[in-house]
A = this chain, B = another copy of it.
Amino acid sequence: MAAKRILLLIFDGLGDRPVKELGNKTPLQATNTPNLDWFAANGSCGLLDPIGPGICPGSDTSHLALFGYDPFAVYTGRGPFEAAGTGIDVRPGDVAFRCNFATVDSEGRVVDRRAGRIKDAGALARPLDGLTVEGVQVFFRAGTEHRAALVFRGEGLSPQVSDTDPHAEGGQVLRSRPLAAGADRTAGVLNRFTELAREILSKQPLNQEHAVKGLPVANAVLARGAGVFPAIPTMKEKWGLHCAGIAGVGLIRGMCRSVGMDVLDVSGATGGLDTDMVAKAAAAANALREYDFVCVNVKAPDVCGHDGLALEKVRVVERIDEMMGHLRAALAPDTVVAVTADHSTPVALRDHSGDPVPLAIFGEGLRVDAVTEYDEISVASGSLGRLRGLDLLPVLLNLADRAGKFGA
């Protein structure tokens, strides 16, 4: 039998707890979701602990687990994955930092850690990208608003260096210090880069324009959270899958790129509430003609959870259901679809939680259990039981008739 293709739909922060405003139902329970329910009713369901029972996942550690990588073994912090998300081709051994563009006064004091939440900082980032500092290759890319990523590549680098970001306004831009033996060089390179950045940024036309208009100038780079990019095999090497990722948010794009996925650009996919979910669905259905495995991340439910917006989360669930309706019609019959989340983001909590997330798996010819609704409670009685994130990829490989036999 020919191997099937796999579509992994990760609705970021979709899981929730009962919400008073919704009559003590979760947003999934409170919303009419005929298409999500169709996948549940025609597939098998269960609960998923993305990392483990009770463990509250970040989106980064959770995506690693859902891609079949043990985050306890390979996760080295957010910085390297954020850097990958900006489009830097990060490699094992590279040292990455999360950065802010900031406004610094003539005495080196940080006046605004976010440079007025500057937009379109791409032009400011470009002259800093591709520098060589003390023999170290420098990559620098703008992220959303004031955020940016910095990567050093070279011999003898270490992530054991202190931040240059004072983490508060009014403080001086800090000198980076080595935090362990062998980190002197990296701290030195970071300090030299920080000086160069101030010189280069102050000359940029956009900043001169801002100065004239009395707007904050982005005349400094603050670096924090050094991390080394882990040596992880690609999805192709590890699972034999030719993979594509569709995500609007930089961090998730970075997670996908870090495991060797092609990250596809979809017009209208923003990573925000305004994202075009149907466009993502269409892009996924299209990509499945070429790829073995396509992962789609939709950030919107997480945004509503963080903002504590129950009714907005209901509306996002309605749009997710519409997206699932599109997929129902568009998917080829040889597709195995998993519908899940990377973590719960309960609106009452306004943050991630370790509550398990719903999981439905649908594919032609696969087992169908008695569950008929897709929500945190209904799926719990399904035939998948309670799984761990790290088990998901082997489960999907098996259902796609791609599992090798262990033994004879």
Are A405 and B17 CB-contacts (below 8 A) given A348-B365, A385-B47?
A: no
| 17 A-B residue pairings within 8 Å (CB atoms) | A1-B348, A1-B350, A17-B365, A18-B366, A46-B385, A51-B406, A54-B391, A54-B393, A54-B399, A54-B403, A57-B405, A60-B407, A349-B401, A351-B405, A355-B367, A355-B398, A380-B383
User: A52 CB to closest chain B CB, in angstroms?
Assistant: 7
Interface size on A, residues (CB 8 A): 64
Q: Is there an interface contact between B407 and A78, defined as CB atoms closer than 8 Å?
A: yes
Q: Is the CB of B367 within 8 A of A403?
A: no
Given contacts A53-B388, A354-B397, A380-B382, could you give 19 more A-B pairs where the C-beta distance is less than 8 Å? Answer: A17-B365, A17-B367, A18-B368, A24-B368, A52-B391, A52-B394, A54-B398, A55-B403, A56-B404, A56-B406, A57-B405, A58-B405, A62-B407, A78-B407, A353-B403, A355-B367, A370-B381, A380-B384, A380-B385
Contact of A58 among B370, B395, B406 (CB under 8 A): B406
**A47, chain B: closest CB distance, angstroms:** 6
A residues 345-386 in Cβ contact with B at 8 Å = 348-355, 365-370, 376-377, 380-386
Among B58, B71, B385, point to the contact of A386 (Cβ < 8 A). Answer: B385
Residues of B within 8 A of A58 (CB): 405-408
Residue on B with the closest CB to A380? B383
| Min C-beta distance of A312 to chain B, whole Å | 19
Q: Write out the residue numbers on chain B whose beta carbons fall within 8 Å of the beta carbon of A251.
A: 408
Distance (whole angstroms) from the CB of A55 to the closest CB of chain B: 6
A291 CB within 8 Å of chain B: no
B398 in contact with A57 (CB, 8 Å): no
Smallest Cβ distance from A297 to chain B, in angstroms?
Answer: 14
Q: Across the interface, which residues of B come within 8 angstroms of A388, CB to CB?
A: 53
Which residue of B365, B403, B407 contacts A61 across the interface (Cβ within 8 Å)?
A: B407
A218 within 8 A of B: no
* A407–B57 touching, CB < 8 Å: yes
Which residues of B lie under 8 Å from residue A353 when comparing CB positions? 398, 401, 403
| A interface SS class | loop
A396 / chain B contacts, CB cutoff of 8 Å: 54
- CB contacts under 8 Å to B, within A35-93, are 46-47, 51-62, 71, 75, 78
Given known pairs A398-B354, A405-B352, A407-B78, the reply for A385 and B385 (CB within 8 Å) is yes
Q: Mark A1-35, 1 if CB is under 8 A from B, else 0.
A: 10000000000000001101000101000000000
CB of A397, distance to nearest CB on chain B (Å): 6
Complex interface: chain B residues within 8 A of A401 (CB): 349, 353
Q: Which of B57, B365, B384, B399 contacts A406 (CB 8 A)?
A: B57
Binding site for B on A (CB under 8 A): 1, 17-18, 20, 24, 26, 46-47, 51-62, 71, 75, 78, 251, 348-355, 365-370, 376-377, 380-388, 391, 393-399, 401, 403-408
B368–A78 CB distance below 8 A: no
Is B385 a contact of A377 with CB atoms below 8 Å? no
Query: Does A403 lie within 8 Å of B56, measured CB to CB?
Result: yes
Select from chain B the residue with minimum beta-carbon distance to A81: B408
Q: Give every chain B residue within 8 A of A394 (Cβ-Cβ).
A: 52-55, 354
Shortest Cβ-Cβ A-B pairs, 4 listed: A58-B407, A54-B394, A385-B386, A61-B407
Tell me whether B367 and A406 are in contact (CB under 8 A).
no
Residues of B within 8 A of A391 (CB): 52-54
- Contact across chains for A383 and B376 when beta carbons are under 8 A apart: yes
A339 → B minimal CB distance (Å): 17
Q: Please state if A354 and B403 are interface contacts (CB–CB under 8 Å).
A: yes
- Per the bound structure, the CA–CA distance linking A23 and B380 in Å amounts to 26
Contact between chains at A387 and B53 (CB < 8 Å): yes
Which chain B positions have C-beta within 8 A of A386?
384-387
Residue of A393, A395, A403, A406 with highest tally of chain B CB at under 10 A: A406
Q: Is the CB of A1 within 8 A of B385?
A: no
